[in-house]
């Protein structure tokens, strides 16, 4: 016998399941010394040896509630994955249960965001590669996201259609037009179910505002404006206006021969709509307040975060490896993380002179910088991610390795995204790199690392321990052990 459940009881049941899941996760972390045990969930992408350049994933981004996951690739395509809802036997329906890591992501929508272009004035080819994707917070049944290549930002609307109108007064049951004179009574139109259709349509196109390559876009917490940054300038846009933007940072010198640094990344503060941060190729980070001045490139008015270089590590490659490839604010807005070539640093916004935490990602590569320079790997731009509770930091490395740093327990471990252990719920075993001496059985020699396999793009679910890892043309999804 199937019994109905009131909305109050339904809410109570979901709340109980949520607190039970959180309690289990808390006890699990305590019993395991705080270390998260990661399990394989699924992998998207082909296993062909011949991977085309267009299929390589170039960005990964969860939306604000983590129910959607978007990827962009070098071919200009955007693929959106939706999390499957969980079947509840008692409720006889599918529901989302916070704190429960089950549920796979499957393709929801695929569309071509950018096409290759050619700038005839500069005789320059503009790639279709998607550099960044940023979601807007959902305010109605539709989803909105921003995507950008080197020159143009687009606002996309992703909408569902699962019903079609039927019963038009001027059409008969076969869809043929009726003679208006034969209509003696009006019929009320009704909506009939149809196969679900997901349509992505461009709502705005923001172009002709950047001379150099766009490396960052970031939506403001007011959900009305966003910024776009290239090598020398940062522009502020209103989401409703496409034909004008405000230049808020301009570091282009009068004489380009005097250029000493470029902008590498920029992001709005998650809570303070007047504040944003941008990083440079010289390893510095500047926190700016738009209330102080219209043009935020006067360094005296910005907070400068910079760590003096250790003279013992000074080399020909120092400036290259100190260049910051990514900067991200913590969810609570108190900290930010930066990624340079060899390390991840955590900065307190109230302390500019040095980072509060520094994590070595692959320090063992310092002795190989010369060969990495020759094969251009030293210019790879690794991204970094915060966990939803800001207690963990994640970033990528080579050989399809990615690194996890536990800020509370000061632990770190290396994991690998590979297809060898593809059984669902298989616990990932930490990997170790042998840097000298006799190599142990479970270690890999630093000389055997594959530098063609690199994890540049990662994303962490905003509320749960679910991570997405982009490895060439494959998207790996892992979740914490139940």
Does residue 11 carry a pLDDT above 60? no
Mean of all residue pLDDT scores within the chain: 87
Handedness of CA 323, 126, 128, 53 (dihedral sign): negative
Name, in order, each residue with C-beta under 8 angstroms of 265's C-beta and a sequence gap of 6 or more.
Answer: 215, 216, 229, 278, 279, 324, 325, 326, 327
C-alpha to C-alpha distance for 281 and 217, rounded to whole angstroms = 18
Confidence bin at 223 (pLDDT 50/70/90): very high
Write the pLDDT tens digit of every residue in 99-113: 455 579 999 999 999
Better-scored residue on pLDDT, 308 or 128: 128
Does residue 20 carry a pLDDT above 60? no
C-alpha to C-alpha distance for 21 and 302, rounded to whole angstroms = 43
Complete DSSP assignment for 222-250: TSSEEEEE-SSEEEEEETT--S--EEEEE
Does residue 434 carry a pLDDT above 70? yes
Q: Which H or E run includes 194? A: strand 190-206
Residue 235 phi/psi, 5° resolution? -115, 145
C-alpha to C-alpha distance for 277 and 229, rounded to whole angstroms = 11
CA distances from 74 to 30, 49, 57, 134, 244 (A): 42, 18, 6, 17, 28
Better-scored residue on pLDDT, 463 or 425: 463
C-alpha to C-alpha distance for 75 and 2, rounded to whole angstroms = 50
Confidence bin at 436 (pLDDT 50/70/90): confident
Write the pLDDT tens digit of every residue in 258-306: 999 999 999 999 999 999 999 999 999 999 999 988 888 766 678 999 9
C-alpha to C-alpha distance for 186 and 207, rounded to whole angstroms = 49
* Residue among 313, 411, 330 at smallest CA distance from 36: 411
**pLDDT score recorded for residue 80:** 97
Confidence bin at 419 (pLDDT 50/70/90): confident
Least confident residue range of 360-374, 420-434, 442-456: 420-434
* Residue among 56, 23, 58, 10 at smallest CA distance from 459: 58
Does residue 180 carry a pLDDT above 60? yes
Does residue 315 carry a pLDDT above 80? yes
Write the pLDDT tens digit of every residue in 155-174: 999 998 877 766 666 677 67
CA distances from 285 to 73, 279, 293 (A): 28, 4, 18
**pLDDT score recorded for residue 425:** 82
C-alpha to C-alpha distance for 176 and 82, rounded to whole angstroms = 38
Better-scored residue on pLDDT, 89 or 107: 107
**pLDDT score recorded for residue 85:** 77
C-alpha to C-alpha distance for 293 and 151, rounded to whole angstroms = 26
Kindly state the average pLDDT of the residues 96-101. Answer: 52
* Residue among 295, 271, 276, 294 at smallest CA distance from 286: 276
**pLDDT score recorded for residue 27:** 44
**pLDDT score recorded for residue 101:** 53
| 216 three-class SS | strand
Does residue 28 carry a pLDDT above 50? no
Kindly state the average pLDDT of the residues 425-453. Answer: 87
* Residue among 41, 68, 198, 222 at smallest CA distance from 133: 68
Q: Which domains does the chain have, with CATH numbers?
A: 37-138+211-480 (2.130.10.10)
Handedness of CA 323, 149, 387, 352 (dihedral sign): positive
Least confident residue range of 97-101, 125-129, 392-396: 97-101
Strand 443-445 relative to strand 432-434: parallel, antiparallel, unpaired? parallel
Does residue 88 carry a pLDDT above 90? no
**pLDDT score recorded for residue 19:** 45
Listed ranges 12-16, 47-51, 95-99, 218-222; the one with the highest mean pLDDT: 218-222
Give, in degrees to the nearest 5, the angle at Cα 350 between 346 and 351: 60
Write the pLDDT tens digit of every residue in 297-309: 766 678 999 998 8
Beta bridge partners of 360: 343
**pLDDT score recorded for residue 122:** 75
Does residue 410 carry a pLDDT above 50? yes
* Residue among 136, 137, 142 at smallest CA distance from 161: 142
Confidence bin at 25 (pLDDT 50/70/90): very low
Kindly state the average pLDDT of the residues 130-146. Answer: 96
DSSP 177: B
Write the pLDDT tens digit of every residue in 326-385: 999 999 999 999 999 999 999 999 999 999 999 999 999 999 999 999 999 999 999 999
* Residue among 213, 220, 223, 335 at smallest CA distance from 276: 220
325 close to 381: Cβ distance less than 8 angstroms:
yes
């Amino acid at each position: 016998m199937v019994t109905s459940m009131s909305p109050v009881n339904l809410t109570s049941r979901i709340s109980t399941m949520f607190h039970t899941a959180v309690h289990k996760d808390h006890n699990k972390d305590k019993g395991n010394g705080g270390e998260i045990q990661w399990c394989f969930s699924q992998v998207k992408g082909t296993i062909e040896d011949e991977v085309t350049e267009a299929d390589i994933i170039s960005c990964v981004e969860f939306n604000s509630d983590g129910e959607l996951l978007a990827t962009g690739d070098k071919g200009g395509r955007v693929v959106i994955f939706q999390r499957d809802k969980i079947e509840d036997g008692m409720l006889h329906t599918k529901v989302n249960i916070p704190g429960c890591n089950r549920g796979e992501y499957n393709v929801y929508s695929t569309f071509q965001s950018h096409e290759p272009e050619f700038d005839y004035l500069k005789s320059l080819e503009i790639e279709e590669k998607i550099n960044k994707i940023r979601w807007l917070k959902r305010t109605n049944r539709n989803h909105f996201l921003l995507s950008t290549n080197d020159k143009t930002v687009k606002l996309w609307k992703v909408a569902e259609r699962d019903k079609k109108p039927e019963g038009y007064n001027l059409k008969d049951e076969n869809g043929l037009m009726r003679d208006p004179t034969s209509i003696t009574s009006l019929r009320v139109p009704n909506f009939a179910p149809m196969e679900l259709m997901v349509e992505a349509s461009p709502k705005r196109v923001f172009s002709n505002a950047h001379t150099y390559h766009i490396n960052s876009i970031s939506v403001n917490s007011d959900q009305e404006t966003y910024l776009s940054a290239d090598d020398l300038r940062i522009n502020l846009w209103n989401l409703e206006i496409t034909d004008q933007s405000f230049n808020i940072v301009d570091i282009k010198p009068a004489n380009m021969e005097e250029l000493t640094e470029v902008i590498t990344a920029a992001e709005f503060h998650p809570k303070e709509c007047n504040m944003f941060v941008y990083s440079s190729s010289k390893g510095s980070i500047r926190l700016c307040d738009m209330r102080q001045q219209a043009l935020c490139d006067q360094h005296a008015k910005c907070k400068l975060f910079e760590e003096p270089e250790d003279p013992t590590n000074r080399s020909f490659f120092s400036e290259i490896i100190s260049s910051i490839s990514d900067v991200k604010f913590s969810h609570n807005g108190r900290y930010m993380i930066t990624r340079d070539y060899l390390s991840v640093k955590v900065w307190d916004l109230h302390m500019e002179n040095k980072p509060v935490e520094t994590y070595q990602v692959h320090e063992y590569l310092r002795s190989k910088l010369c060969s990495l320079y020759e094969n251009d790997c030293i210019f790879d731009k690794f991204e970094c991610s915060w966990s939803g509770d800001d207690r963990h930091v994640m970033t990528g490395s080579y050989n399809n390795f990615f690194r996890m740093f536990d800020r509370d327990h000061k632990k770190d471990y290396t994991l690998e995204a590979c297809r060898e252990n593809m059984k669902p719920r298989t616990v990932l075993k930490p990997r170790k790199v042998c840097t000298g001496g006799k190599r142990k059985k479970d270690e890999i020699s630093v000389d055997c690392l594959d530098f063609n396999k690199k994890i540049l793009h990662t994303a962490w679910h905003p509320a749960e321990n679910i991570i997405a890892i982009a490895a060439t043309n494959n998207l790996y999804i892992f979740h914490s052990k139940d």
